[in-house]
Amino acid sequence: MWIPLTLGLMALGALGVAARGLATNRPFVYSPRTFLAAIAAVFCANLVLSVRHALRAPLPSGEVAMAPLVVPALLALATLLLLVQFRGFLAVGVTGPLFREALFVSIKKLGLPFEQYFSIVRLPSERTEFQMSVHNWTGTAQIKLRRVRGRRALRDIARGMNDYFQSRKIAASSISCLYYLALAVMFGIMTFQVWPE
């Protein structure tokens, strides 16, 4: 039951991103941490139930079977690590030049001095730096903190980027919306394929 639930959540998350991009026809920046937290909660609940089942039904020798706990433990650990590691925002419907322009306009509007070294942007006044990466083939980009400090500054920058996208007549790159829509359809099909009868 947990696998269909997880796949269903993933389908809904991808559909939400695709729907927002198609409905507004504008690029946008969002944080996937809420989505990752929901997936991590499902996997952690699955692990707890697997441990309870293993303790209630021990092997004939009285030992607890560890093999059925490996996959739920790894899935829970992997999603928790993703949740902790991902300290950033995703941009949807962008090209490389548009993403950089929105990013630097937002930083300048906040009055933050910055230095750029290839894909690293350093904010000396905030004592932080973040990494940016653009994936033109999917029309997406990412900005991610390299240090723990600076979450508030990065959140303000992302908000400023959304304001930039909303204030100008910029159409979203439809490839990213179609990419997320294809992901939603794929996860939806997988959900119904593994749904228990």
CATH value at residue 95: 3.30.160.690
Give residue-wise pLDDT tens across range 44-89: 888 888 888 877 777 777 677 777 778 878 888 888 887 777 778 9
- The answer, yes or no, to whether residue 1 has pLDDT greater than 70, is no
Domain count, the chain: 1
Any idea which of 5-9, 163-167, 178-182 has the lowest mean pLDDT? 5-9
Phi-psi sector, 111: left (phi>0), alpha (psi -120 to 50), beta: left
Average the pLDDT over 9-20 and give the result.
90
How open is the CA angle 133-27-130, to the nearest 5 degrees? 30
CA dihedral 12, 18, 21, 24 (to 10 degrees): -60
**Element holding 123 (H helix, E strand):** strand 120-123
What residue numbers bound the domain in which 165 lies? Answer: 87-171
Residue 151 lies in a domain: yes
The model's pTM: 0.79
Residue 134 lies in a domain: yes
On average, the pLDDT of the chain sits at 86
Number of Cβ within 10 Å of residue 38's Cβ equals 17
Any idea which of 13-17, 64-68, 132-136 has the lowest mean pLDDT? 64-68
Beta carbons of 22 and 175 less than 8 angstroms apart: no
Residue 69 lies in a domain: no
User: Which amino acid is it at 55?
Assistant: L
